[in-house]
Chains A and B, each alone.
Chain A
Amino acid sequence: MGNFTLAKQDFLLFGPAILLLAVLCYWPLAWVALQALTVKGELSFTTIATVATGQIFWVSTLNTIYLTTSVVLITALVGYPLAYLVSQASPLWSYTLKFLILFPFWTSTLVRTYAWVVILQRDGLLVNAMRMVVPDMTPVSFLNTRAASTIGMVHIMLPFFVFPLLASMESIKRDYLRAAESLGAKPIIAFWTVFFPLSLPGLLSSVIMVLMLSIGFYIIPIVLGGGKGAVISMVIEKSLSLYPDWAVASSMGLLLLLMSAVALTILNALANKAQSIWR
C-alpha cells in the first residue's frame, strides 16, 4: 500500500464515487458532528457528555451489543458449515445451494420479518408443528422476546455472512488438504490445521459485514422484540421527535459511530493478522 501512487486519470475513474460519498455521506456526517458538538454556534461537549453518561444510552447500547453479538455468533455457527458445504460441493450442487441461499435475499426484509411473526406467535406454525409431537402441549409464544429478534436477524444476515466467506473458501486449493492428508493428517486434523486458518480472513470479513449491518438494525427488534430491550437505533429515533434540536440524536449517532469504528479497527487488525498466513 505504501508505494501506491495515483495518476491523473485515476481520479477520473474513482472521482464520481468520491463525489457521491462526499455529497451523500461525508457532508451529512460533518453536519451530524456539528449538531452534536455545538451549542448556539460554539463548540461544546455538554450534550455529548450528558448523553454519554445517561442511563438510556448505556442500557440501549448494552442491548445493542448483546443483540449484535448473539446475531454474529449464531450466524457464524450456522453460516460457516454452510459455506464449507457449498465450497466443497460439486459445481451443480454448489450452484443450486447458492441459489437457495440467495433466494430469500430477494424478498423484502419487512415481509420476511412478518413471516417470523406468523411462525413464532402463540398459535403460530412453530407451536402447531410442536403439537404434532406433543399434542397436549400448553401454548407458548416465542414472539416478543430477544430470542425472536435474534432469529429474525440471523435469517436476514445469513447471505451477507456466507458469500464473503465462500469467496475466500473457494480460493483455498484442495491440493493443500490432499497434501496434508498425504503427509498423514486425518481429514479433521487437515481441516483444523490447514483449511480453517486459511479461511480465517474470509471469516473475519464476514463477521465485520454482519456486525456492521446488525448494529443499526431497527425494524426487526421493533416487530419481533415486543418493545422490550430497546436498541440504540430506536432510542435515536425517539430522540429525533422528542427534543427541539438534533443535538441529542446526533450525539448518540456520533457515539455509535465511534464504537463501531473501534470494533471495526480491532476486527480489521485481526483480519490483517490472519491474512499474514497467506504470505
Chain B
Amino acid sequence: MLKKMMFVAALSPLAMTAVAHADSITVAAWGGSYQDALRASFFEPTAKELGITIAEDNLSTGLADIRLQVQGKSVRWDLVDISAEECVAGEKEGLFEPLDYNIVKSDGIDKRLVGKSWIGFVYYSVVLAHNTNSKEATPKNWKDFFDTKGFPGRRSLGNFPSETLTIAAMADGTHVDKVYPIDLDKAFAKLEELKPNITAWWSSGTQATNLIMDNEVDYGSSWNGRIATLKASGAPVDWVVEGGVLNADCLVIPKGAKNKDLAMKALARFVSPDLQANLPKHAANGPVNVKAFETGKLTREEAAKVISSPENLKKQVLLDPQFWGDNIVGIQARWQNLVQ
C-alpha cells in the first residue's frame, strides 16, 4: 500500500507538466485587475488570432520568481511581465531568451525600453497627488513638494529608491529632460532634508492612495492608475501629470521556456500598435508603443487622457532602467539608512 502511494506521489509532478500542450503558452503577470486588463487587451485577442491557449499565472516577487525557475531548471512560464529595472538586471544575469527582432517589431517603442532579451510592455506613472480636503496649499510640482516652508503639510513617498530618487532629482525644478543621469548625492541630500516632513514611506499602491485619501498625509506620490480610479469614484483626491515618473513593465521569455517560439509570436502581438491601443480601454496604464495612437482605435479625447499619450510623454520623465540596473545594488544601503 505504502509503495503504491509513493509511486503515485512520484508521478504527480509529471502529471502536472503534461497539461502544458504544444499549442499553449503560460503568461505570468501581477494578477488582480491589472491582469484582467492585460487579458482583455492582449491575451484574449492574441489567443484567438494565433489559435492557441494562453494559460495564466501570478508572480509573487518578480525577478526572483524567474531566477528560481531558471536556476532550478524547472521553467513553468513562457512569457513574464516584470518591471523594466528587473529586466535590465535579469539580462545581465542571463536569465532570459534573446528576442528575435525579425518577429518582434520594436518601432514606436522608446529605445531605452528595448533590450536584447526584453522589451517594454506597458507604462504607468508615479505622480504627485494630494487630498482636496486638506487645509494646506496644494503643491503644483515636485519643486513645491520639496519646499517645506511654503508647503508645511504632511507627505508620503514610495519606499522604492528608483522612483523616489527620480522625484528628488526634480526637487529644485530640474526639467524632465535633464533629470538623467541623476546626481545621486544631491538627490539623497534633498530627501534627507525632507525626511522630517515624511509621515510614511509606502510600499504598495493601496497604501500610497489610502494615505492620501484618508488624510493621513496632505500630499504624496502615488501610482497614476489607483489615484485616477479613486478620483473617478468621488474620493477627495486629485493629481497632476506634470513631473510624473514614467515607469515601464517589460516582457521576457525565461531561459529554457518550454514554448519559446510560440511565446515570441505572442510577444510580438502584445507590443504591436493595434493591441497596445486596446489597453487604455481596460486600465489606466498606457501603451508603450506610441504608434498605438495612430491606429485610429482611440479618439482624440480618449488619447488625451492616456498617461503615455504623445502629449503627456513630454511632461514626464522616463525612469531609465539602464541607469537603475547599473546603480541599484550600490545605493540600496544608502537607501535603507535614509528611510530608517
A115 to B112, CA, bound (A): 43
Whether a CB of chain B sits under 8 angstroms from the CB of A228 is yes
Q: Could you say which of A54, A59, A121, A227 contacts B201, with CB atoms under 8 Å apart?
A: A227
Q: Could you say which of B67, B199, B202 contacts A244, with CB atoms under 8 Å apart?
A: B67
> Besides the contacts A141-B199, A227-B201, A227-B202, what 12 more A-B pairs have beta carbons closer than 8 Å?
A54-B333, A56-B332, A144-B199, A226-B202, A227-B159, A227-B200, A228-B201, A228-B339, A228-B340, A230-B339, A240-B61, A241-B64
**Inter-subunit contact A123/B215 (CB<8 Å):** yes
25 interchain pairs, CB-CB under 8 A: A55-B333, A55-B337, A56-B333, A63-B340, A117-B210, A121-B214, A122-B216, A123-B214, A141-B199, A143-B216, A144-B200, A223-B207, A226-B199, A227-B203, A227-B339, A228-B200, A228-B201, A229-B340, A230-B336, A237-B61, A238-B336, A240-B64, A241-B62, A242-B329, A244-B67
- Closest residue of chain A to B62 (Cβ to Cβ) is A241
A244 to B92, CA, bound (A): 9
**Inter-subunit contact A243/B203 (CB<8 Å):** no
Pairs A-B, 9 closest by C-beta atoms: A227-B201, A226-B200, A144-B200, A227-B159, A244-B93, A240-B64, A56-B336, A241-B64, A122-B216
How would you classify the secondary structure of chain B's contact residues: helix, strand, loop or mixed? helix
CB distance from B60 to the nearest CB of A (A): 10
Whether a CB of chain B sits under 8 angstroms from the CB of A60 is yes
Interface residues of A in 208-254 (CB under 8 A from B): 222-223, 226-230, 235, 237-238, 240-244
**Inter-subunit contact B339/A59 (CB<8 Å):** no
Q: Mark A34-62, 1 if CB is under 8 A from B, else 0.
A: 00000000000000000000111001100
A160 to B237, CA, bound (A): 41
Residues of A within 8 A of B63 (CB): 241
Interface residues on A, range: 20 to 34
A261 to B63, CA, bound (A): 31
Residues of A within 8 A of B207 (CB): 223
Number of interface residues of B (CB under 8 A): 28
**Inter-subunit contact A121/B336 (CB<8 Å):** no
Residues of A within 8 A of B329 (CB): 242-243
Residues of B within 8 A of A242 (CB): 328-329, 332
Interface residues of B in 251-279 (CB under 8 A from A): none
Residues of A within 8 A of B332 (CB): 56, 238, 242
CB distance from B294 to the nearest CB of A (A): 36
